[in-house]
Amino acid sequence: MIKTLYAFRHGETDWNKQQRFQGRVDIPLNETGRQQALRLREFFKENPIEVMLSSDLGRALETARIAIGEQEIPLVIEPRIRETNLGDVEGMTHEEIIQKMGREVIENWRSISAETQDSRFPGGESKAEHLARILAGLNDFLKSTSYTRIGVSTHGGALRRFLHHIRPEQTEGLMVGNCALYEVKFDSAKGLWDVDLEAKCINP
């Protein structure tokens, strides 16, 4: 059976606007983020889903609720698809991290190469650990339910990591904007993933 996931990043927050590393810090949507989420609502009116799976962080949950709108579908919270635990750098900007830890630390974190997947910030989790829990959360949900059309409200880092896992031949790092949505296919019989890397609901 083929299952379709509409996986999207949450709307903008003030920390996104300020280019601060958010991680697990529970920063709410700003007004721009709420308006962005309304575009998702229009998408889901035309592309109905049976269930919405969401990270437990407020910015993802609020985006999911706005996207659902008046549709009477269940909202399921899955903490394992939340953003990376970024440890000591949460709340810092790129420049602040470079000044404190050096440019190589940021470059390793941004890299999609296999050699850097064990990279982590002090006190945080590695990219490999993050991907493993995302996949565990999604696989457990997909195997335990019969839903075939699923919304997934998650985070920029989580979505980039997931998409690069599905398409390892993608050598350029994906830029995932707020509320960008990707159509992902899961073959439950073979346990195989596929994805259309052309994002939908891109904000102007």
Distance CA 140, CA 150 (A): 14
Beta-bridged to residue 8, according to DSSP, are 153, 181
Reply yes or no on whether the pLDDT at 45 is more than 90.
yes
Tokens representing residue 136 in the block: 């565990």
Sign of CA dihedral 33, 59, 78, 191: positive
Predicted confidence at residue 171, as pLDDT, reads: 87
| Whole-Å CA distances, 123 to 27, 103, 148, 200 | 19, 18, 38, 35
Per-residue pLDDT tens for 5-16? Answer: 999 999 999 999
Which residues are catalytically annotated? 10, 83
Hunting for tokens 């960008």 — which residue is that?
A: 180
Q: In 93-109, which positions are buried (b, 16+ CB within 10 angstroms) versus exposed (e)?
A: eeeebeeebeeebbebb
Average pLDDT for 156-162: 96
Predicted confidence at residue 7, as pLDDT, reads: 98
Per-residue pLDDT tens for 15-28? Answer: 999 999 999 999 99
What interhelical angle do 31-46 and 58-68 show, nearest 10? 40
Residue 201 pLDDT class (50, 70, 90 cuts): confident
Distance CA 27, CA 24 (A): 9
Distance CA 58, CA 60 (A): 5
Q: In 70-83, which positions are buried (b, 16+ CB within 10 angstroms) versus exposed (e)?
A: eeebeeebbebbbb
**For a pLDDT cut of 70, what percent of the chain falls above it?**
99
Helix (H) or strand (E) holding 165: helix 156-166
Helix (H) or strand (E) holding 67: helix 58-68
Tokens representing residue 38 in the block: 């309304």
Predicted confidence at residue 42, as pLDDT, reads: 96
CATH topology of domain 2-85+127-200: Rossmann fold (3.40.50)
Closest among 105, 102, 124 to 116, alpha carbons compared? 105
Residue 204 pLDDT class (50, 70, 90 cuts): low
